[in-house]
Amino acid sequence: MDISSILQGGYQHPLSRSWQSRRQLTKSMFMYPIFITDDPDASVVIPTLPGQRRWGVNKLEGFLGPLVQKGLSSVILFGVPLNCKKDFRGTPADDENGPVIQAIKKLRSLFPSLYIACDVCLCEYTSHGHCGLLHSDGTINTEPSVERIAEVALSYAIAGAHCVAPSDMMDGRIKAIKRKLIDAGFGNKCTLMSYSAKFASGLYGPFRDAAGSAPSFGNRKCYQLPPTAKGLARRAIQQRDTAEGADIIMVKPALPYLDIIADAAQLASDHPIACYQVSGEFAMVHAGAAAGVYDLKAMAFETTESMVRAGATLILSYFTPEFLDWLST
């Protein structure tokens, strides 16, 4: 056998196996998605998302305190308003008394070390359930959508969010948000993480259950990318969002789009690259484990390690609490 064919000597020991990865999972790579609802005492199980709940602000201390103790470093908040009056422009999105702004303030005071990101979108707050404002024929009206989304992002920054993360996929919103943050004095106080390559995926089902954000008519295919669209994803990452001032580039979902994560790592090589292991991916790992196909922990590691291998430096995952334990041992 040729000398160059002998590889196994390089990974025969657990430690030398670990050296074969360029980078390894760390606790600080994990950002935990949290659903915040407007009943302050809520702690409601989400049946399709194993182990996850909708939380009221009064429950956040008891829920997150132990996780912060274990090394939880960041969360991303999603508002789930159940009692607000939704309208065409998503007015409740930046209601001072709404769940997200209340939760930002609460978490800032409870956990000074915790990094707080906020998803920014209108779909949870619009009467039609779309992510932007609409023309009378039901199509997206981009300019006022972008203006409204930037307004909401700024209000989260003012409330104390360390990071705003627009998930709407409207063209031009990164530039508009960045400009608004800068003009209001938050250019150096708030990170802008863009959901840059967000695909129209079949993996968002449990999230829509959790957030109650399915559109009342039509779908989101006019703004979310077609799953086959590698070129569009590359343009969204590089020509659009990186050029418009995004501080972090995100790919969503993660597992079926590892090639796009690798593209993002190359196209935005000087930016942190985030990926979202979305609700359906998480539920899929759980379902396979429950069916005896594989071990849950092993597959949680294999899937997230594949994201790191592809180039991700930040992973939004519902497995975050488990990884705080798993990465301690």
- Residue number with CB closer to Zn ion (123 or 312): 123
Which sequence positions are flagged as catalytic? 198, 252
H/E run at residue 194: strand 191-198
Rounded Cα–Cα distance for residues 97 and 39 (Å): 11
Q: Closest Cα to residue 100, out of 41, 42, 162, 161?
A: 161
Question: Least separation, in Å, of the C-beta of 326 and Zn ion?
Answer: 31
Q: Which residues bind Zn ion (CB under 5 A)?
A: 121, 123, 131
Residue 225 is given by DSSP the state: B
H/E run at residue 44: strand 43-45
Q: Which residues are annotated as a binding site for Zn(2+)?
A: 121, 123, 131
Question: Least separation, in Å, of the C-beta of 25 and Zn ion?
Answer: 29
* Cα angle: 257, vertex 261, 267; to 5 degrees: 135
- Residue number with CB closer to Zn ion (32 or 204): 204
Question: Least separation, in Å, of the C-beta of 192 and Zn ion?
Answer: 17
Question: Least separation, in Å, of the C-beta of 46 and Zn ion?
Answer: 18
- Residue number with CB closer to Zn ion (252 or 271): 252
Task: Find the DSSP H helices in 127-257.
Answer: 142-159, 173-183, 205-211, 230-235, 243-244
- Residue number with CB closer to Zn ion (131 or 203): 131
Q: Closest Cα to residue 50, out of 309, 317, 313?
A: 317
